[in-house]
Every structure is written in structure tokens, then in C-alpha cells.
Structure 1
């Protein structure tokens, strides 16, 4: 089933004509629990991984934990609709390389707006180490590019990638999800460093007027007109937690381009106007401009389909260098 984002409650460019020059496009991925295959774009499904290629592992030191969750126990608990049971963290034999967890893979043939990788690569695979690093429990991510045609010609594929015995948290394991890519218009985050000061002042004044008139059900530029929530490709960064940052390539200093945004929630709090028409209660489709009382069909399968979290429920943004695809990516949690 396709997913259709409702039109914005008001026309962005009718209210802020100057933003026509800033209009961009982003592809909402709309992950939903399913059974994707290795040749599909997905979150949490099987990777297209030739059997002869070494699976990525993290060789950095990892912080010890008190308890953890076995991947198979997490899967069984989810199928039964109950929380998984934790186990004590092993005190012996817990050191050594840790297999990365495959989070997502995207083919350019499936996802409009997905940038090409180094050497014309058209398949990108995203991984995360399931354990913590350093005093601030920092995550570690890895990006792997491939040419899809070359990978698909491999005679044999890895069907059971290595897994760590215990995960730190249940939300380190993605739920397999199929994707429903959809391109939508998007506009920059309204904060100093992303838009001119004059535009930000006009947006702030409009937001305040909306709140005075409509109270808690008021629309806002940031949450209803600017950047959609959830997994998306391209478009503008969302800087809800940190404020706008300049992300430069560590190799050449070039401003980096946003490749992918991954988010734990597809909709929450003040973002209900972005809920696709197909996921709204059929009797409540008049609620496109409302944040209060939205009735969502599918519950958690729509609200938090991937079961993942990034930081404290922030966005993971993956940046790549437009000057040289071989330069390492950068990550930001915001």
C-alpha cells in the first residue's frame, strides 16, 4: 500500500512567499513492519551481502553493562506482544570484536532523491554497533556502499549474519520493515543559521499569532509546514535538540550534504498533520490540521514501526561529502 502525505494545512508559500526560493524535496520512507527481502530497500531486513565478504565488526573497546537482551528473545517477545526479559551481562568472554547490526539498506532504483555513492554506487547499507563507547555512551555507525548489479551477481549470499549475544537495549534491534517511498516538499528549519533573520522573525510572529488564536491546537511552521518526521532521504536537517550546526567534511572541509535521516518515531507530539491519509482513522480524515485527538490506524506499527531509538529519541542524520564520495561520512544526533 502506498502512503500519501496530506497537503499542508496552509500553503507555506502563500504565507511566506520568500520561502519559494528555499523549497526542497525529501523522500519520506514510511517504514512499516513486514517481510522485506535481501533485494528490497528496507529497515531491519536481510542485507544483500555476498557470502565471501566479511561482515563489519566494531573493534573499539566497549563499556560493560549490568544486563542485556538476547536478539532471539527480543523477537519472540515482540511476536507475543510482551516486553523482553533481560539477562545478566557475562563477566567472562564479553570482550573482543562486536558484529555491527544492520539497520537499513536503500537502492537508488527504489528511493527517489537518493544520492549516488562513490564510483556510482547505487546501494547504501547502514550499520550500528549495538554496544556503547566512551564515557558518554556514544554510538558507532558505519555506511557501506555497493553497486547493486555487481552485488546481485554474487553466487551465494550471507543468510545468517553474526549477532552479538546480548544487546544493551531492546531498541538496538530493528523490526524488519518494508518501505513506501514518497517525495514531498520541504522547507528549512527556522532558526539562525538555516534561514535569513527576516524570514525567521516573520515565522516566529506567525507562530505566536496561531497560538494566541488556537491555543494548544495551533499550527506551527516548524512542526506542520517545514520538515516531516520519520525516516527520510535528502531534504533539510532538523535541528530540534542542538540548533543548526555546520557539518564539514573532515577530509577536505567542504560543506556536507544530508544523505539520510533516521528517527525512532514516525509521528509524535506536534507532528500529527504529517500522518499519511492511509494511516488515519477513516472516520477522522478531517483532522489533517489538528494535533489534538488524532486517531491513527495501526497504533505502534505506524507510530514506532522500526522499534529503534537514536540518542534520547532524537534524529540520526547521515552526512556525505559532495566533493568526494570516498571521504568518510559524518553523523549528527539532533
Structure 2
């Protein structure tokens, strides 16, 4: 089934003609629980991984925990509609920890997905399931591949290694198929992301909408600029950190947003972005949303305290190290 973003509560460029030069296309991925295969673009499904290639491990010291959740017990509990039970932390966790495969995207499936080093057209995203240091930092990894060459491998890894216990249930992604959809997006309106005069006009419009329509009034940040959820390209949201210039550690050039990962596909403020196919046309507003957790939090993942994970790459040289920003 396709997923279709409803028309915005107001025509962005009719209200703010000055935004036309800033329009940028992004691809909403619309993950939904399913059974993706290793040759599919997906979140949480099996990775296209040659059998003779070592699975990525995190060798850094990890924070010692008191309890955790076994991956198989998480899967069984989800299938039964229950919460998994925790168990005491295992000494097996003291060595290197396997990264968790979060997602893989083929350029043939995802409009706007940038090329990787050497024209690579398949990108795979991983996260260490453990935290690091006193600030509970996370470690992520990108693996770029040539899809056609990788698909010619003789054998593929049937089941990747897993940590015996995960600290949180939301370290394990739910396998999701994707329903890519291109949409227009506009910059986050704060600090110097747009001219000060335009941001002032946006703020005044928001105030007028709130005065006229009350708590359900549309706003630029929530309803007109950047959709929630997993997406490729477009603009980053800066709700938690405020805007920042993300520069390459190798060449100091400005980096480009490759993708955004988010635990929630919609919240109270952004419910207008929920696709038409996930709504009851006989009901208004938030009351029309159907599908429960499979629509609101389909991947079961969480990033920080429900933040967006922005993955940036260097447009001058995709081989330079990516940067990860939680905002």
C-alpha cells in the first residue's frame, strides 16, 4: 500500500512566498511492521551481508548495567502483545558487543538518497546497543556498498550475532517495510536558518493562528516545514538543540543531511502529517488516526530522549567520516 501525506493545513508558499527558493524535496519512508527481505530497503530487517565478511563489533568499553532484555524474548513478547521481562546482566557482555543493524536503503528504492564513496548505492546503518562514558553516548556506523556487486556474493549471513542482553527494549528494531513518498520541505525557522524578517513573519502568523483557532491551530514548525519520522534528505529539525552548522572533520566543509531516524512517526504537534491511508475519513483531526503503535511508533526504536538522529555526510567527499547529531 502506498502512503500519501495529506495536504498541508495552509499552502506554505501562498502564505510565505519568500520560502519558494528554500523548497527542498525529502523522502518520507513511512515504515510499517512487515517482513522485508535482505534485498529490500527496510528498517529492522535482514541485512544484505556477505557470509565471509565479519559483522561489525564495538570494541570500546561499555557502561556496566544491572539488568537487560534478551532479543528473542523481546520478539516473543511483541508477537504476543506483551512487554518483555528483564533479567540480570550477564558477564558475557564484558567483551566486544555486536552492532545492531537498524536499516538499509538502496538508491533504486529511495528517491533522493545520496551516493556514497565510489558511487556506492546501498547504505546500511548500525548502532551499538550499549552506552559509553558518563554521558551515555551512543556509537553509530554506516556501511556503504555497491548493491549489484554485493548481491552477487555466493552466500549471505543468515543470522547476525546478537548481544545476549540489550539494556532497553527499544534497542531492537521491529522489522518494517517502507513506503517511500517525496514531499516538499522548508527550513526550520530559528536563528539564522532563514532571514530574520521572514522568521518574524512566520512567528506572527503562528501567533495569529493560535489566537484564531486555539490549541489545535496549525503552526509552521509542526505542520508546514518538516515532517516527522524516518526520512531521507530535506532539512534537519532542531527542536532540542537549536540550529547548528555541521562541518566535516576532514575538510571543514559544510555537511549534507543524508537521513533522519526518529522513534515516533507522529506526535500531538505533528499529527497532521499522518498519511491519508492511516486515517478514518469520517472523523476529524487526531481522532481520525487509526493503526495505533504500528503507525505512531512502528520501528519500536528510540533515539536519545525521543529526539531525531540526523546523519550527515560530506558532499565534497562521501568517504569522509559521517557525523551524528541528536536534535
TM range (shorter): over 0.9
Q: Is the 8 A contact 1:28 1:184 kept in 2?
A: yes
Alpha carbon RMSD of aligned pairs, Å? 0.7
SS in 1 for 2:6: coil
The residue correspondences of 1:174-323 to structure 2 (distance < 5 A) are 174-284=173-283, 287=284, 290=285, 293-323=286-316
Q: Deviations over 1:301-320 (max 9, x none)?
A: 00000000000000000000
Match of 2:44 in 1: 44
Aligned residues: 327
Q: Is the 8 A contact 2:93 2:165 kept in 1?
A: no
Q: Deviations over 1:128-170 (max 9, x none)?
A: 0000101011110000000000000001000110000000100
Match of 1:127 in 2: 126
Q: Is the 8 A contact 1:122 1:147 kept in 2?
A: yes
Structure 2 distance, partners of 1:94, 1:13, is 53
Structure 2 distance, partners of 1:104, 1:275, is 22
Shift of 1:9: 1.1
Match of 2:169 in 1: 170
Q: Is the 8 A contact 1:5 1:274 kept in 2?
A: yes
Structure 1 distance, partners of 2:54, 2:192, is 42
Structure 1 distance, partners of 2:280, 2:143, is 39
The residue correspondences of 1:21-32 to structure 2 (distance < 5 A) are 21-32=21-32
Q: Is the 8 A contact 1:272 1:294 kept in 2?
A: no
Q: TM-score, normalised by structure 1?
A: 0.97
Q: Is the 8 A contact 1:187 1:226 kept in 2?
A: yes
Shift of 1:294: 2.9
Q: TM-score, normalised by structure 2?
A: 0.99
Unaligned runs of 5+ in 2: none
Q: Is the 8 A contact 2:92 2:164 kept in 1?
A: no
Structure 1 distance, partners of 2:144, 2:155, is 19
Structure 2 distance, partners of 1:333, 1:259, is 14
Q: Deviations over 1:181-202 (max 9, x none)?
A: 0000000000012111011000
Match of 1:9 in 2: 9
Unaligned runs of 5+ in 1: none
